[in-house]
Amino acid sequence: MQIAGYAIVAFVAYLFGSIPTGFLVAKAKGIDIRTVGSKNMGATNVFRTLGKGPGIFVLLADALKGYVAVAWVADALLRIFGFGNPDPQTTHLIAAIAAVLGHNYTCWLWFKGGKGIATTAGVYFALAPLSVSIALGVWIILFVTTRYVSLASIAAAATLAVAVWLTQSSILLSIVTTALCAMAIFKHKANIQRLLAGTENRINFKKEKSA
């Protein structure tokens, strides 16, 4: 029964994470976000294409769906269906993995999605708030000083993995975190190539505002 419960948690958390927020926000304005800018449906491309307001909305919404999938959806499903006596950590980790995979590989857009930074952050505000707060601090510092969202995101992902290993006692949580952070960094492979080549775009607030 527990296996069936975990399967339902994974399925629903995946569907929750797979909501293509950036695509839907851009579509509401008559734009296919997959055809403009970096062609990514994450908050950064929405910010550059549609402006500050839509970009911030997508960022918060993507983070929120990760948080809700872990903090509320997983527990609610098991309470409603009463699947045995599941391990809380296992339940939350299954929901976390499924939600991030849903965002990165959404079934609604032929399994092409975002890079998972905001959704992963939301997941870890539910799983390990101290660790993700440290990672968020690194992200803010690097973004403010360099204006490279990609560099800040890559560094934050690496920091989150290290912070979880240092501050959490669960080996399973640390292993899952390392895998999710490695996936987030891998999704930035094109950004890494542009950073090394010196061709990566910076966020230009003045330009975005005038646009």
Its domain, for residue 165, covers: 2-210
Pair 117, 183: CB distance under 8 Å: no
Helices (H), the chain: 2-17, 21-28, 43-50, 52-68, 74-81, 88-104, 117-127, 129-146, 149-167, 171-186, 189-197, 205-210
Is the pLDDT at 143 greater than 60? The verdict is yes
User: What is this structure's pTM?
Assistant: 0.92
CA dist 107 and 167 (Å) reads 34
Question: Coil, helix or strand for 129?
Answer: helix
CA dist 50 and 54 (Å) reads 6
Closest CA to 93 of 155, 187, 19, 175: 175
Q: Taking residues 103-116, what's their average pLDDT?
A: 95
Is the pLDDT at 82 greater than 80? The verdict is no
Confidence of residue 168 (pLDDT cuts 50, 70, 90): very high
Q: How many domains does the chain have?
A: 1
How far the first Cα of the chain sits from its last, in Å, is 55
In the prediction, which pLDDT does 86 show? Answer: 75
Pair 2, 91: CB distance under 8 Å: no
Pair 120, 184: CB distance under 8 Å: yes
HEC readout, 70-87: HHHHHHHHHHHHCCCCCC
**DSSP-assigned letter for residue 198:** T
Confidence of residue 83 (pLDDT cuts 50, 70, 90): low
Q: Taking residues 46-62, what's their average pLDDT?
A: 95
Average pLDDT, rounded, for the chain: 92
Pair 180, 96: CB distance under 8 Å: yes
Q: Taking residues 74-102, what's their average pLDDT?
A: 85
In the prediction, which pLDDT does 3 show? Answer: 80
CA dist 41 and 44 (Å) reads 8
Q: Which of 64-68, 83-87, 174-178 has the lowest mean pLDDT?
A: 83-87
